[in-house]
Amino acid sequence: MHNIQSDVQSLLNVLYWQKAASATKKFLLSSNWSASSAHTELFNFAGSLGVTIQWFFASETQTAPEDQGYVVRKKQRLQVNYENGIIDQLLTPQPTRQLEFLHSRFPPGTYSKESYSHEGEEAGYVLSGSFELWVGERYFQLSEGDSFSFSSQEPHKYGNPGEEDAVALWVITPPTF
C-alpha cells in the first residue's frame, strides 16, 4: 500500500531545498550585493533558510566541552565587522535559545544604513559614548548609563554622533544574529 504521508513529506523536502537553492543562487550571484548591505542581505538570506546569521559562522569557534551551550569566553566570541567600522560580538552561546545578547561598538560618525524591522523585541544599555536611536518616527539621544527597549517590528536605525566610540549591549528576541 502506498504511503501518502511519506510522499507529502518528500515533496515538502524537495520544495524546501529548491527554495534554499534559489535563495542561495540569488544571494551569491546578486550583482548589487555590497559590503554596505551585507547585514541586511545576510539577515534576509538566513531568514529564507530558516536559520539565524550565526549559523553561517558556527564552525569558526572552538568551545571547551564543559562550556558548550552555557558560556562564551571573550576570545571565542563570534564577531561581525561591518564596512563602516561597526562591530557586533555575540555574547550568547550556540545553539541559540530564545534570545541573543550582543556587544556592539560604533566608531564616531557611524550609522546603520537604513531603517529596518523584523519580528521580536530589542533592549539595550549604553556602556559608553553617545548614541542616537530612531524607532518609528521617534528620536532618542542616549549616553552612558541610558537604556532602551522597543518592538523590533517598528522600523529602527541607530548611530554614533560623538567623537569617541559608542559601546552598547543589546538583547534581541528572537535571535537574528
The C-alpha atoms of residue 107 and residue 67 are separated, in whole angstroms, by: 31
User: Which has the closest alpha carbon to 161: 87, 109, 115, 88?
Assistant: 109
Contact 20, 48 (CB under 8 A): yes
Question: Cell 544574529 appears where?
Answer: 177
Share of the chain above pLDDT 90, in %: 45
pTM: 0.70
In contact, 102 and 89? CB cutoff 8 Å: yes
Q: Which three cell numbers stand for residue 26?
A: 540569488
Joined together, the cell numbers standing for residue 20 give 534554499
pLDDT confidence of residue 113: 82
Q: How far apart are CA 6 and CA 154, in angstroms?
A: 41
Please give the residue that has the higher pLDDT: either 137 or 59.
137
Q: Do residues 170 and 102 lie in contact, with contact meaning Cβ atoms separated by under 8 Å?
A: yes
**Between 115 and 47, whose confidence is greater?**
115
Residue 121 burial (CB count, 10 A):
14
Beta carbons within 8 Å of 82's beta carbon, 6+ residues apart: 35, 38, 39, 88
- Nearest Cα to 84, choosing from 156, 36, 139, 147? 36
Packed helices 4-29 and 38-49: angle between N→C axes, nearest 10 degrees: 170
> What is the pLDDT confidence band of residue 93, given thresholds at 50, 70 and 90?
confident
Give the DSSP letter string of 70-99. Answer: T---GGG--EEE-TTS-EEEE-SPSSP-S-
Query: What CATH fold (topology level) applies to the domain 60-173?
Result: Jelly Rolls (2.60.120)
User: What is the rounded CA–CA span in Å between residue 170 and residue 80?
Assistant: 14
What are the pLDDT digits (tens) for 137-171?
999 999 999 999 999 999 999 999 999 999 999 99
| pLDDT tier at 35, thresholds 50, 70, 90 | very low
